[in-house]
Amino acid sequence: MTYDDLGTPLGLPRPPRRVVSLVPSLTEALAATGTLVGATDWCTHPADLDVTRVRGTKNPDRAAIAALAPDLVIANKEENRELDVVRLRAAGIAVWVTVVETVPQAVASLERLFTQALRTGEPEWLGEARELWTGEVPPVTATVAVPVWRDPWMVVGGSTFTGDLLRRAGLANVFDGDGRGRYPKVAVEEIRADAVLLPDEPYVFSAADGPEMFPGRTVKLVSGRSLTWYGPSLVAAHGMLRGLAREI
């Protein structure tokens, strides 16, 4: 018997060989195992992913998932609805739920997923990510704010994977610990820091959409994948974010 991140027991009599991912940030890593048969419409990496699409993270097509006869469905506590997990399990489908709010938690969760659930062994990139991200935390060199939506404006708040990732790169999220939750709505005038980081997901900020709202301030367009995904992109994200901390 093995247990997912919520402590739910899963009886997996054999290594899963038909896997469906409902977590875009995990799909890239799962695709590399050769077991992936389904993924959401939001799963954009790898770019050549050729699997059955099962709609979105919040409205997965449960009938389409069942038709794929998966050995295991991968979900996430934050990204997916508990209702869908419950109904998939009621249909006799095993669901592994991950819980990720810090970088060490992400690394530990991934290790368990690969070694205990999938039984494929730990991928090389995960060991590299562990070495890069879970050592001594560097001193803060700059403050940042990370909008994730506009009209209304929303930012990365407290107790998030992104906030912990930034902290481990030497950057302090100004909305971490202000008591307004994980992704609070704010007035654009409140978004003040040494630098404003505008990612390309979930809202697609660009040179023509976003920077104009922060005149006279340092604005950096960054990869949302590097800020929010906890798969193979963790390795490249380390150099990018540490470089950004030195630059700001």
178 — pLDDT class (breaks 50, 70, 90): confident
Q: What is the average pLDDT across 178-184?
A: 90
1 — pLDDT class (breaks 50, 70, 90): confident
Rounded CA-CA distance 91/72 in Å is 12
Q: Which residue has the tokens 């991200």?
A: 133
Compute the mean pLDDT over every residue in the chain, rounded to the nearest whole number: 95
pLDDT score for 122: 94
pLDDT score for 126: 96
Any idea where the domains of the chain sit in the sequence? 2-132, 142-247
Look at domain 2-132 and name its CATH class: alpha beta
User: pTM of this prediction?
Assistant: 0.91
Residues 6+ apart with CB under 8 A from 6: 77, 97, 99
Residue 113 contacts residue 74 (beta carbons within 8 Å)? yes
Rounded CA-CA distance 40/166 in Å is 27
Residue 98 contacts residue 77 (beta carbons within 8 Å)? yes
Beta bridge partners of 10: 2
Reported in sequence order, the residue ranges of 99-229 that DSSP labels E, i.e. its strands, are 142-145, 147-149, 154-155, 171-173, 195-199, 218-222
Look at domain 142-247 and name its CATH class: alpha beta
157 — pLDDT class (breaks 50, 70, 90): very high
132 — pLDDT class (breaks 50, 70, 90): very high
- Equal fold, 2-132 vs 142-247: yes
Q: What is the average pLDDT across 62-73?
A: 98
48 — pLDDT class (breaks 50, 70, 90): very high
Decide if pLDDT at 227 tops 90.
yes
Decide if pLDDT at 179 tops 90.
no
Virtual torsion, Cα 150, 153, 157, 161, nearest 10 deg: -10
